[in-house]
Chain A
Amino acid sequence: MPSLKAIRTRITSVKNTQQITKAMKMVAAAKLRRAQEAATQSRPYSEKLETMVAHQLQRVDPSFSPLLKVPETQERCLVLVVSSDRGLCGGYNANLLREVEQSVEGQPGEFVFTTVGSKGFDHLKRREYTMETQVPMPTPQAAGQVARELSRDLQRRYLAGEFDRVVVAYMAFKSTMTQIPTLEQLLPLQHHDEPEGHAEGHEYVFEPNAVEIVGSLLPRLVEVRVLHALLEAGASELASRMTAMDSATRNASEVIDRLTLQMNRARQAQITTELMEIISGAEALNQ
């Protein structure tokens, strides 16, 4: 049995760890609220843009834009993986990367990865995938700027013929408890199936003209989808961290309870031993 002192030291150390995990949980919870808000607030824009594009693509011939055209070959595919920069967030990165690896495994063609967040980059690099660059995971405030730069860069290189397909992989935020690894094709642009449109059959007036306007909407759509992925991933990361830190705090409580029990037993044993010594000493004197 470990000495009383050793047990006391362990209890203190577990308590310290618990304080840290508790603080991290609180911080993640506070940040999560803001991240969720950012994700919700960007939703009206992306929804409206999606429907607007879907409406217009019914009336203009989609072949005018190279962003819509499906390349004949499917050789080179770029995967944009949105991971995190920091650990201690449970299975967040592991779940996403497992999904990514599974979807790439055994597929024909060449896959190139570029990541947001260093965890994904390091992991995939260790597995000897072809890596490109990494950018740090942005805060919700900076996400707009990063999404713009990323989507511009992706479109430029896609149009230059460097890739036949661009896919984004991120953790979709469903709730605090569930985040779902999601892979979405960014380029060539696929428009979501649209619900029965209310503008159906109506004539439009365009300024300057339909092709130019729709042409300017498409790059925005790519940007908005990247932004959406970044914001969702940000919320998912924090939710994941919050849950992980919450269970770590609870585990620490359990460990402390167990150690306290052990400590009390050790103390009891020590007292008993001391009493025995005293009593047997007194007995010896009496004889």
Chain B
Amino acid sequence: MRLQLVTPNRQVLDTEIEEVYAPGTQGEFGVLPQHVNFLTSLDTGALRYRTDGKDHWVAVSGGVAEVLADGVTILADSAELAEEIDLDAAKASAASAEAGLKEAEAGTPEATDLAAEFAWAETRQAVAART
């Protein structure tokens, strides 16, 4: 089964895998070979895939995943491999987003953006901790 993970900026992954678990907006889902054709939107969260019996982690945010007979294609808004994540930067961005959230009025577009930024920073920290 082939996993392709692309963002608007680059191709992050194109590799043979045994299984993958990804954060769908309707809950996490797993894909094994012989999966039914499937199309779902993605949430911010950790994606895990197994290749050669080893687990790998990727932080992903937004986008869609398409499962077809030959593999999984994920079009994410942003994605970072666990080993690429800059933990200090993630921590700093989580802290600044959290501080900003306290100031911002709930329900405004700024608050939504900040909440998304905070979730993304938290996810990156969680994924980085897996390595």
Q: Using a CB-CB cutoff of 8 Å, which residues 31-46 of chain B contact chain A? A: 36-41
Per-residue B-contact encoding for A187-209, CB less than 8 Å = 1, 0 else: 00000000000110011111110
Question: A208 contacts which chain B residues (CB < 8 A)?
Answer: 25-26, 40-41
- The verdict on B58 contacting chain A, using a C-beta distance below 8 Å, is no
Contact B37 A45, beta carbon cutoff 8 Å: no
Per-residue B-contact encoding for A106-121, CB less than 8 Å = 1, 0 else: 0000000000000000
B64 contact from A44, A199, A217, Cβ within 8 A = A217
Contact A206 B40, beta carbon cutoff 8 Å: yes
Interface size class for chain B? 20 to 34
Bound Cα distance from A206 to B11, whole angstroms: 25
Given A42-B8, A42-B9, A224-B8, also A52-B66 (CB < 8 A): yes
Contact B41 A202, beta carbon cutoff 8 Å: no
How many Å from the CB of B14 to the closest CB on chain A? Answer: 8
Of A45, A52, A217, A227, most buried by chain B (CB within 10 Å of CB) is A45
Total chain A interface residues with beta-carbon distance under 8 A: 29
Given A204-B38, A207-B25, A207-B38, also A48-B8 (CB < 8 A): no
Q: Using a CB-CB cutoff of 8 Å, which residues 33-92 of chain A contact chain B? A: 38, 41-42, 44-46, 48-49, 52, 56
Question: B7 contacts which chain A residues (CB < 8 A)?
Answer: 45
- The verdict on B93 contacting chain A, using a C-beta distance below 8 Å, is no
Contact B39 A213, beta carbon cutoff 8 Å: yes
Q: Is the interface of A mostly helix, strand, loop or mixed?
A: helix
Contact A204 B4, beta carbon cutoff 8 Å: no
Contact B8 A144, beta carbon cutoff 8 Å: yes
Q: Using a CB-CB cutoff of 8 Å, which residues 246-281 of chain A contact chain B? A: none
Which chain B residues have a beta carbon within 8 Å of chain A's beta carbons? 4, 6-11, 24-26, 29, 36-41, 63-64, 66, 68-70, 73, 75
Give the top 6 A-B pairs by smallest Cβ distance, nearest first.
A207-B40, A41-B10, A45-B6, A207-B26, A204-B37, A44-B11
- Other A-B pairs, 7, CB within 8 Å; known A206-B39, A208-B40: A42-B8, A48-B6, A52-B64, A207-B24, A207-B41, A208-B41, A213-B40
